[in-house]
């Protein structure tokens, strides 16, 4: 019977065809549609203009990269929780069945003379036997290995949390930069298009004047050359601003083709952080920076790995206890309890022990060296970010003053052009210069906002929005506004405040 079953199993396995299978168009389309629906699920529509606080809040709540980092942290937590069960003893339940086509018959011989026994052969087991076992097993060596592995997984959970914080810092940086680009586009694009239309009309008139030969050919050509240069500059500005809305929409989970408006926040660039002592800022950065904290956790993981390596040098001690049953008719006791202890030691493992210890120590030294290098990198980033913040603040002040002067000049020339005291070329050229000055002003403002976010990230400071995934968008927006207000006050957190 067993032979027939084996032949049937072999024939069944031989008919299985496991080959490569490419994705079909329908499968790809269905997957993409499901992903698109999942990304848009539970996303609140935008009602009214988008504020900076609202943009950051929407990014925190709905951004796909932010969700991915949060899921990484959840997976790390799940791995830690599952790994804790490895420290428990193993409770094993097993059952088995055996069937023979003939009896298990044994002979015996005299242990002294070696002569065959005069008794008839013995049958010592039934043909069909069903056995069950419920036992518990615990290994001291496995417990030690699982204990240190659980501690390593606990540190990996904290690393995932630090990476989530770093992703939040980068997300806020990207949102603030894109937001001010959208503000510039919203304010400048209508003016750009009007100036381009006027330039195109003036260029057409200049070409007509050239063809009519009213003046010397050189003068209309120089006029056209200046107009074309202005058009090239204006179109370059328009192209630079054309992608800002899409970038901000992608960060805040808005439809990429949506036509939304933003609110330009008032006020100048805040320089309160430049009044903070640099030594206190260094202390906060070293205590809160996510990259440095991740390095400390990695060093602890390397130290735990050294202890796991040392455990392999000890003998393995295991204990077993089981409750067993067998329906073998030839057994006098078909139910019995069995206990045992075993000690084992891999003698050949001693040969590799020195190399394993050196490798573990090298891992600890590498983690420590990486942490020290990261400490210097964080301090360098802090000083550079602070200097960039000061530079961009000064650049914004200068760009704002230049834009204000160019705007006034453009207004005067426009008034004179209406009174026919200035040519259309002068008016268009100055209008182009004013638009360019406004663009540079907004670029300087965007750079200053980015520098502020970079300094904030280096200091390890992020909006305190616990439970952001479940918090309503309105409450999250208010929390972000409060955090940004605190940031603008230039107050360092206490060293005892945990990030």
Q: What pLDDT is recorded for position 345?
A: 81
**Is residue 47 predicted with pLDDT exceeding 60?**
yes
- Predicted confidence band at 323 (pLDDT cuts at 50, 70, 90)? very high
Distance CA 448, CA 453 (A): 9
Q: Measured between alpha carbons, how far is 247 from 182 in angstroms, rounded to an integer?
A: 9
- Is beta strand 105-106 parallel, antiparallel or unpaired with respect to 90-99? unpaired
Exposure on the CB side of residue 464, measured as CA atoms within 13 A = 9
What pLDDT shows up at residue 425? 64
- pLDDT for the residue 83: 74
For the ranges 13-17, 205-209, 216-220, 379-383, which has the lowest average pLDDT?
13-17
> Of the spans 140-144, 215-219, 324-328, which averages the highest pLDDT?
324-328
Q: What is the mean pLDDT of residues 3-10?
A: 60
Q: By mean pLDDT, which of 137-141, 202-206, 478-482 is the weakest?
A: 202-206
Q: Which residues contact 490 (CB under 8 A, 6 or more apart)?
A: 270, 272, 273, 275, 276
Say whether pTM exceeds 0.85.
Answer: no
Q: So what's the pLDDT on residue 466?
A: 58
Q: Apex CA 475: angle with CA 470 and CA 476, to 5°? A: 65
Q: Is the pLDDT of residue 6 over 70?
A: no
Comparing 43 with 11, which gets the higher pLDDT?
Answer: 43
pLDDT tens-digit map of 221-252: 777 777 787 778 778 877 877 888 888 888 88
* Cα 276 versus chain centre, distance: 31
Lowest mean pLDDT among 5-19, 66-80, 113-127, 360-374: 5-19
**Using an 8 Å Cβ cutoff, are 318 and 341 in contact?**
yes
pLDDT (0 to 100) of residue 391:
92
DSSP 182-232: HHHHHHHHHHHHHHHHHHHHHHHHHHHHHHHT-S-THHHHHHHHHHHHHHH
Contact 328, 128 (CB under 8 A): no
Rounded to an integer, the average pLDDT of 393-399 is: 89
Q: How many C-beta neighbours within 10 Å does residue 482 have? A: 14
Mean pLDDT of 140-159: 86
The number of CA neighbours under 13 Å toward the Cβ of 415 is: 5
Element (H, E) at 132: strand 128-139
Confidence of residue 270 (pLDDT cuts 50, 70, 90): confident
Ordered strands of the 90-99 beta sheet: 90-99, 128-139, 316-326, 335-344
- Residue 344 pLDDT greater than 80, yes or no: yes
User: Above pLDDT 70, what percent of the chain?
Assistant: 89
| Helix, strand, or coil (residue 323) | strand
Check pLDDT > 60 for residue 337: yes
Phi, psi of 168 (to 5 degrees): -65, -40
* 13 pLDDT above the threshold of 60: no
Q: How many CB atoms lie within 10 A of CB 285?
A: 24
Identify the band that residue 8 occupies on the pLDDT scale cut at 50, 70 and 90.
Answer: low
Number of H helices, E strands in the chain: 12, 6
The average pLDDT across 90-103 equals 86
Write out pLDDT tens, residues 162-213: 888 888 888 888 888 888 888 888 887 887 777 778 777 777 777 776 676 6
Least confident of 6-20, 101-115, 263-277, 341-355: 6-20
Are residues 231 and 199 in contact, defined by beta-carbon separation less than 8 angstroms?
yes
Mean pLDDT across 460-472: 70
Which of 46-50, 113-117, 318-322, 465-469 is predicted with the least confidence, judged by mean pLDDT?
A: 465-469
- Pair 320, 402: CB distance under 8 Å: no
All residues at 6 or more sequence positions from 272 whose CB lies less than 8 Å from its CB, including other chains: 488, 489, 490
Inform me whether the pLDDT recorded for 441 exceeds 80: yes
Extract the tokens encoding 472. Answer: 């309503």
Which pLDDT value is given to residue 272?
80
Mean pLDDT of 330-343: 88
Is the pLDDT score of 420 beyond 80?
no
**N- to C-terminal Cα separation, the chain:** 68
Q: Is the pLDDT of residue 418 over 80?
A: no
Tell me what pLDDT residue 223 has. Answer: 73
Question: In the predicted model, what is the mean pLDDT of residues 273-280?
Answer: 86
* Nearest of 286, 496, 449, 487 to residue 380 by alpha carbon: 286
pLDDT of residue 384: 92
Residue with tokens 């268009």: 428
Structure tokens at 152: 């390593």
User: Once rounded to an integer, what is the mean pLDDT over residues 405-427?
Assistant: 76
Average pLDDT over every residue of 129-151:
87
Residues in the chain: 499
Better pLDDT: 134 or 45: 134
Tokens linked to 122: 């013995």
Residue 276 DSSP label: S
Six-digit token string for 92: 């094993």
Compute CA distances 318 → 86, 89, 339, 345, 353, whole Å.
15, 10, 11, 12, 22
When the pLDDT of each residue in the chain is averaged and rounded to a whole number, the result is 80
Q: In the predicted model, is pLDDT for residue 300 greater than 70?
A: yes
């Amino acid at each position: 019977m067993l032979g027939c079953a084996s032949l049937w199993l072999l024939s069944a396995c031989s008919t299985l065809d496991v080959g490569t299978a490419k994705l079909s168009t329908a499968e790809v389309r269905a997957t993409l549609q499901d992903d698109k629906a999942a990304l848009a699920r539970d996303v609140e529509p935008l009602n009214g203009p988008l504020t900076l606080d609202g943009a950051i809040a929407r990014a925190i709540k709905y951004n796909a990269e932010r969700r991915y980092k949060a899921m990484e942290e959840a997976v790390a937590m799940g791995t830690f929780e599952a790994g804790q069960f490895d420290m428990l003893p193993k409770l094993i339940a097993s059952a088995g069945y055996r069937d023979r086509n003939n009896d298990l018959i044994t002979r015996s011989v005299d242990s002294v003379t070696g002569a065959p026994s005069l008794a008839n052969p013995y049958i010592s087991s039934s043909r069909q036997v069903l056995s069950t076992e419920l036992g518990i097993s615990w290994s001291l060596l496995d417990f030690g290995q699982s204990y240190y592995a659980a501690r390593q997984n606990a540190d990996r959970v904290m690393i995932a949390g630090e990476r989530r914080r770093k992703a939040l810092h980068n997300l806020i940086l990207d949102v603030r930069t894109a937001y001010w680009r959208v503000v510039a586009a919203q304010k400048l694009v209508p003016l750009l298009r009007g100036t381009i239309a006027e330039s195109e009309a003036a260029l057409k008139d200049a070409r007509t004047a050239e063809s009519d030969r009213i003046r010397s050919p050189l003068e209309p050509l120089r006029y056209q050359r200046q107009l074309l240069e202005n058009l090239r500059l204006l179109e370059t500005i328009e192209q630079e601003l054309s992608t800002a809305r899409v970038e901000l929409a992608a960060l805040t989970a808005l439809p990429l083709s949506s036509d939304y408006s933003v609110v330009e926040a008032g006020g100048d660039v805040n320089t309160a952080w430049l009044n903070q002592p640099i030594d206190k800022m260094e202390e906060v950065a070293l205590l809160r920076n996510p990259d440095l904290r991740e390095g400390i956790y990695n060093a602890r993981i390397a130290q735990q790995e050294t202890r796991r390596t040392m455990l392999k040098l000890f003998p393995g001690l295991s204990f077993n206890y089981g409750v067993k049953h067998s329906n073998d008719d030839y057994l006098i006791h078909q139910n019995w309890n069995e206990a045992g202890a075993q000690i084992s030691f891999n003698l050949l493992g001693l040969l590799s022990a020195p190399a394993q210890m050196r490798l573990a120590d090298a891992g600890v030294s590498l983690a420590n060296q990486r942490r020290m290098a990261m400490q210097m990198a964080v301090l360098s980033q802090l000083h550079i970010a602070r200097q960039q913040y000061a530079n961009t603040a000064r650049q914004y002040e200068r760009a704002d003053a230049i834009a204000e002067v160019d705007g006034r000049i453009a207004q005067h020339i426009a008034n004179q052009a209406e009174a026919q005291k200035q040519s259309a070329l002068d008016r268009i050229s100055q209008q182009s210069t004013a638009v360019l000055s406004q663009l540079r002003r907004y670029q300087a403002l965007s750079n200053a906002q980015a520098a502020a976010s970079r300094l904030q990230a280096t200091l390890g400071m992020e909006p305190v929005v616990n439970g952001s995934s479940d918090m309503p968008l309105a409450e999250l927006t208010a929390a972000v506004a409060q955090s940004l207000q605190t940031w603008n006050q230039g107050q360092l957190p206490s060293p005892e405040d945990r990030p």
